Structure formats: structure tokens, C-alpha cells
Structure 1
Amino acid sequence: MKKISLSFLFFVLAKFVFAQSADSVYVFSYFVGNGEDGLHLAYSEDGFTWNSVRERSFLKPELSSDKLMRDPCIIRGKDGFFHMVWTVSWTQKGLGYASSTDLIHWSEQTYIPVMEHESGARNTWAPEITYDPENEEYMIYWATTITGMFPETQVQEDNAYNHRMYYVTTKDFKSFSDTKLLYDPGFNCIDATVVSYLGRWIMFLKDETRIPPQKNLKVAFSDRLTGPFGPASAPITGDYWAEGPTAINIDGYWMVYFDKYTQHRYGAIRSKDLKNWDDISDEVIFPKGIRHGTVFKISHGELDKLLANP
């Protein structure tokens, strides 16, 4: 049998990777209003111009007495399923979860009681999922205020909200590890999102400090998904209030999209080195009313099926 050269294998692999990249389109999961309407999706070919897939939502919230679906985070898992978590309530001690094969038909919505064991927990906000290929498990993480914790950064002007990031791990979204502290940067923080790059983990997060006001995005790094993460950087966003970051690498640039919530619009910054950032908010176009969500990739064929379900 004829031997296959190593160079030929690399050539085939490169063509496969290119084909996969060329066939991909960007999708953004988001909510509108207070989240009572459920899951919305937008798409983009270039990461700059985003169009709503359809006006009505793809999934109506059913969990908690509030029945909200805020901050929907979706990733494609190792199993090929789309896995989603979201904020079910302003005051609930757990989060929502559902899965799908096509982003159209979803599993039963389940409640994951990640902070129910903490009597002083006041909330579970903006959960996200990141997959750890080394340990073949998912990390779900979110922001919670626990009454009495971290008093050095608690202020009454924030109604005594004083968040830190917490997490659980899971392999199947049925059984979960004990809840642990993920990140205490020394300030009130929410809205973390973690991505991998060159063997390290990058956390983008919001500094929620009100006095003196920060309300900006920062970045921290770790060698392990579950930490420890190093000190938070200086602000990477400008002189405006920003929250809900989500990040993806497009053509060698790190793009971070976020909610300029006091301006009622979406913004974006980008960087090649994760140190120097350019504000490109005037170059991105998002659907009206879009709120905190996540960006991920699907194939054009998958997008066609979404667009065929008005």
C-alpha cells in the first residue's frame, strides 16, 4: 500500500480547517426587554453587520415565578448539541438550562440550583458555559452576592449588592460539582466570559464598582479554566458604562461585543494582542433592542434552517 506523507496529511488537514472556517457564520444569542419574551438570535457574515433571524423568540421561558430568560449563553458542546444557560430571575438562587440540536427545537427547561445551599445568596446572574477539553468537562459560572461576604467592597448605593464569580463543573449537565468561588478580583464584579487562547484562558468581566464609578470591562488570565486567574487589567472600554461582554477571534482580531446599556445600544472593541484595544462601536450594527448575549459559530446550512422557520 502506498505510504501517505506527513506533508500530505497536513495539506488535507489545512484544507479541512479552511473549509470548516469558510462554511461558518456568526450567530448571537440575546434577549430583549426584561427577558420575558425568551431567546432571540441574530447572524452575521463578517462580525460587523448583524441581522435578526426572526422577530419572535425561539424559546419562551418557563422557569421560576418570574419566567425570564435573560443573558442567554449558548455554546456547541463536544457532543454536537447546543447547550444554553440563562438568568431565570432577579432573585433566584439557580439558573436555567436547555439543549438543542438545531437551535429551533429545545429540550425541557431545567433549573440548576447552584446557590440554593447558600442562605445568604441574593441572586444568580448572567451564567455562562465554557468547555475544558483537557478535563473533558464544562464549567458553568455566574455572579452572586452573598450577604456579608467581602464587606470591604460593599456600598449602600448598590443596595448592598457585592458580586463575585462562582462556578460548578459538569460532564453531562445532570450531575454537578460543588459550587466554588471562581474569581475575586478585589472589587464587585459580574458578567464574566472565558475563552481559550494559545494554551491559556482569558476572562473578560465587568467591574461593577459604583463608588468611585467603574462600570467598565477588564481582562484577566489563567493557566487553568477553573483558575486561579491573575489580577484584572486596567479598563479596556472607554468613558461609558459597559456590561455583558462576549468575545470571539475574527481574522486575527479579538472582538469583544458588549451592552452600552445606559446608551441603549451595543458596542464593540477589538485587539490583536489583548493589550491595545480600539473602540469600533460605530462600525457595528445590531438589531434594535438587543441585550446581553453570546457570540458563537454555526454552518451556513444550519443558518438556512433557522431562516426557514419564520
Structure 2
Amino acid sequence: MTGPLHVPPPGPLPGPPPGSRPSRRSFLGLAATVPLAATGALALGAGTAHAADAAYVMGYFTESPDMLAADYGLHLAVSTDGLQWTPLNQNAPVATPTAGSLGLRDPFILRKQDGTFVVLATDLKGTDWSYVSQYIHVWDSADLRTFTGYRRMRLHDMNTHSWAPEAYWDAGRRQYGVIYSAVNSSGHNVIMVNYTTDFATASAPQVFFDPGYDVIDGDLAVGVGGVNYLYFKKNSTLVGARSSSLEPGSFTEFSTAVAHGGTEAPTLVKSLAANGVWYLWGDTWSPNGVFYAWQTSSLAAGTWTALDQRTYTQPLNSKHLTIHPITSAEYTSLIAKWGTPAWNRLKSYNYPARYVRHSDYTARIDPYAFDPYPDSQWRLVPGLADSTGVSFQSVNYPTRYLRHYDYALRLDVNDGTSVFAADATFRRTAGLANSAWASFRSYNNPTRYIRHSDYVLRIDPVSTATEQQDATFSVGY
């Protein structure tokens, strides 16, 4: 690109109908397209698939129901199985845009042909859907520990957005394709593509996928058994298309739609442990940002089975994820650099959509997500009465601990007495319903365990299978 393109200021965009979810689209006509020159050295290397990959990294931004967690920087989490996630840097951002809207949504991580990473993201801070940017945010990174070369890359000069950018290596073109959502001349969202070698300048945009109806959030799995798969959002469901080539216009819808309420942001993830198994993640619309996951043993079949929520846990307040495989050395290096959280969350075994929290100082399990979200964050510290046990210190009320009183669990200020210390101390044991989970036996009432009853926590004797499930929790993040 030899100079800035002149784009007339965008006019006002109509908002969504009252009470509805905005469709993340503008309704403006398109300006004439001005080609952008592609320059830079061609990236060469072993490709994005590495035999040594043994773990995963996730990128996301954060929001919560009352927007207390709204943070539009790049957040990272890691996982060894692609299902249970550990947020890094205390769930704070590791990089934040310094140009454009000064915020990001929809981050995407790609390992380039030379083995380094590039991070792309929507140039949008918050939920002002009238904001129009022809640019996307871009960072380079050798290791996801440092982020360099921050810039914005212009994709078009049209009077429409550039949402949810993703990239892939097109071996036939020996260039990277960058796909994203934009509005076409018919007034509906399509998936566009530009080609680049350096993620600094790009070719003129082309329509990559337009089935004739509104589609956003394209996610590609390239070269799986000689077929390329594109998943996208259609009418609040996740749907797949496929093609034997990567040519624009070559993809045809084929899969069974999946959804859990209004679902968007599909992410395809290949299992590193089970041959042929793929996961499909989706994000429910709204600041709640609840993720759901499905599994298939054949991408070609296009059918998915919902995973039990016990099997996966998303990072706290995460929205619109990207997942990429990494090596075990990179996994260890990321944890060494950014650190793991100094707090935990506890998920209910038999109500895995619910987490332990305090509300009006009463301990209970409530559906994720909620605000104030720190109500569900706990520091599991050495037991106040016995350091071989555990006590639950509130993150947002650090002078208060979970203790039992008349067998009910509540959040009280530590008064320094031996009675309080004993009431607030528990023995962690193997989960009564699942030994891979955890249960907590009262220190001074050792025949009783923490359990929920009508969603409220208390200590009770446990004998039946239901009671064992009520008393079993996952300690995670």
C-alpha cells in the first residue's frame, strides 16, 4: 500500500430492535474497492502442524453480565487436554491495542510457517456496533511471552466492519488468507478474504463465502483428509461448509446445525490425544459468554454430540475464544512467564453449570456467569485450625472465610478464636462421587461434608448417591 486510502466518514448505523441481540452488522452500502498491494517476504517453514504439539493455548477477551469484567485486551489460558483451562497473568490481559478503538474483540492466534505466531483481532472496544473499522489489530510473537510489531492492517475501504478475523496458510497461493465478516452490497454479512505474506499489507478483498444469508465468525480447519472445513454462525447456530479447495466461493454447507441458545464464534479444535476426534466450541451471545462444546469422531460426517459440562471449564469471564496447539515446552514457558491464578473456582459435580459463590454472605451454587464475579473466587489456604487442612478465603472479602454455623456455610470475618478456626477448616478428600474431583470434610464435625441442598451450602452426613454428588466439586479456575 503506497498511501492511505480515502474513505468517507461512515454515517450512523441503525441499532438492533429493543430487547434483541445486535447482529454485529452494518447496513451501509459498499464503497468502490481500492486494491491494496501485497508486499513482504514469503514465510516458509514446516507449517502450522507440529508433531511435538502436546498442549493448547487459548486467546480471548473478557466480559461479564454487568460488565464488571469488561476488558478488551488479549487474554491467554493454557490446557493440556483442550478442555480444562488455566488462565494466565491472573486473567489480566497480556497485550492491549494502542491504536484504533484502543480495544479488541475476537482474537485469533496462528502459528506461521516460520514457527512464530501472529495474533489478529477485531478493532472494537466494547459493544458500540456502530463503530466501523476497515482495519484489524495485528501483533507478532516469537513465543506468546512477548508481543512485538503492533500495527493495524487495513483490509478494505468499504463502509463496513472487519469482524472476527482469522488466518490460514494457503499452500497453493503460498500466501496467508485472512477471513473476516463484512457486509456485502445486498446488505447481509458474508465471509471475506484478503491475502498477505506479512500481515502488514493485503491484497484486495474478495468474497470467500456467501450462501445468500447472514453469516459471521468463520473458522477454518484446512486439509483434513484432503478437505477444508469452514464453520460459521447462521441464525444463532453453528453450521459447517466444506470444499476440496480453498478458492473463494467453493464452500458448500453440509453439516447439522448445533446450538445452545443463541450460539456464535465457532472454534474447531483437533484432539491431540484421540485420533480423529475434534471439538467444536461455541460462545453464547450476551455478556454472559457461556461456552459450550461438542465432539465428533469425523469432521466429514458433520454431526456433533454435546459434551457433558463436567468435562470442560472455560476461563473466567472469557469471550470469543481462539485455540491453537503448542508444545509442552511452550506450555511450561507460558506458565513460567505469566503465572497461574492465585485463586480457584469450585464447580458443582451434579450441577456443572453452577459454581460455589457467596451472596449476602451465604454460600451457595449459582449458574455461571454472574456478577460480582469475584464472589466465586477463593484462595484455598492452609487450614486455620490445622495447616494440613484447607480454609476458603474470599478474594473480594479477604478478612472473611467460609465457615459452618448451625451446619450452614456462610462467609464470616475471622475473629481469631479457635472456634472460628475449627469451623472454617476442612479436610480435602477424593471426590465422593468421582475420585478425580474433590470433597471437603468438616474438621470439627468429621462425619459431615460440604454439600449443596436447594443450591445452598451446608455440612451434612453423606450416604446416598445423590448426597455424594451434592458433596463433590471440581477445584479449577
TM-score bin, normalised by smaller chain = 0.7 to 0.9
Q: 2:107 & 2:225 partners in 1: Cα distance?
A: 27
Corresponding residue to 1:253 among 238, 263, 277: 277
The within-5 A match list for 1:175-214 is 175-196=201-222, 197-207=224-234, 214=235
RCO higher in structure (CA 8 A, sep ≥6): 1
Q: 1:73 & 1:26 partners in 2: Cα distance?
A: 13
Corresponding residue to 1:295 among 305, 323, 327: 323
1:101 corresponds in structure 2 to 142
CA deviation profile, 1:140-167 (whole Å, cap 9, x unmatched): 0100124xx225xxxxxxxxxx211111
Change (3 A) 1:281 1:179: farther
Secondary structure of 1:73's match?
strand
Change (3 A) 1:96 1:175: same
1:122 corresponds in structure 2 to 160
Q: Aligned letter for 2:242?
A: F
Corresponding residue to 1:79 among 114, 129, 139: 114
Change (3 A) 1:220 1:23: closer
Residue 110 (str. 1) matches residue 151 (str. 2) = yes
Residue 236 (str. 1) matches residue 257 (str. 2) = yes
Corresponding residue to 1:166 among 192, 214, 222: 192
1:267 corresponds in structure 2 to 292
1:271 Cα deviation after fit: 0.9
Residue 30 (str. 1) matches residue 60 (str. 2) = yes
2:304 corresponds in structure 1 to 277
1:51 corresponds in structure 2 to 86
2:256–2:303 CA contact under 8 A, matched in 1: no
Change (3 A) 1:238 1:174: closer
Secondary structure of 2:233's match?
strand
Deviates more, 1:224-233 or 1:187-196: 224-233
1:224 corresponds in structure 2 to 245
RMSD: 1.9
1:15 corresponds in structure 2 to none
CA deviation profile, 1:10-49 (whole Å, cap 9, x unmatched): xxxxxxxxxx656521111111128744111111111221
CA deviation profile, 1:232-282 (whole Å, cap 9, x unmatched): 235431351111111121122111111123453111111122322101151
Q: Aligned letter for 1:137?
A: Q
Secondary structure of 2:148's match?
coil
Deviates more, 1:196-205 or 1:225-234: 225-234
Residue 40 (str. 1) matches residue 68 (str. 2) = no
Corresponding residue to 2:96 among 60, 64, 88: 60
Q: 1:174 & 1:87 partners in 2: Cα distance?
A: 15
1:126–1:191 CA contact under 8 A, matched in 2: yes
2:364 corresponds in structure 1 to none
Q: 2:86 & 2:327 partners in 1: Cα distance?
A: 16
1:144–1:163 CA contact under 8 A, matched in 2: yes
Larger Rg: 2
Q: 1:185 & 1:259 partners in 2: Cα distance?
A: 22
Secondary structure of 1:130's match?
strand
1:84–1:98 CA contact under 8 A, matched in 2: yes
Q: 1:180 & 1:171 partners in 2: Cα distance?
A: 16
1:227 Cα deviation after fit: 3.1
2:206–2:248 CA contact under 8 A, matched in 1: no
1:186 Cα deviation after fit: 1.4
1:259–1:265 CA contact under 8 A, matched in 2: yes
1:157 corresponds in structure 2 to none
CA deviation profile, 1:65-105 (whole Å, cap 9, x unmatched): x2111111011010111011100124211111111001121
Identity %: 24
1:63–1:109 CA contact under 8 A, matched in 2: no
Q: Aligned letter for 1:88?
A: D
2:255–2:303 CA contact under 8 A, matched in 1: no
Q: 1:229 & 1:240 partners in 2: Cα distance?
A: 30
2:269–2:323 CA contact under 8 A, matched in 1: yes
2:366 corresponds in structure 1 to none
1:220–1:229 CA contact under 8 A, matched in 2: no
1:216–1:235 CA contact under 8 A, matched in 2: no
Q: 2:259 & 2:140 partners in 1: Cα distance?
A: 36
Structure (1/2) with the larger helix percentage: 1
Q: 1:231 & 1:76 partners in 2: Cα distance?
A: 27
Q: 1:185 & 1:23 partners in 2: Cα distance?
A: 35
1:122 Cα deviation after fit: 2.3
Q: Number of aligned residue pairs: give it.
A: 269
Secondary structure of 1:308's match?
helix
Structure 1: segments with no counterpart, 5+ residues: 1-19, 152-161, 208-213
1:37–1:60 CA contact under 8 A, matched in 2: yes
Deviates more, 1:76-85 or 1:300-309: 300-309
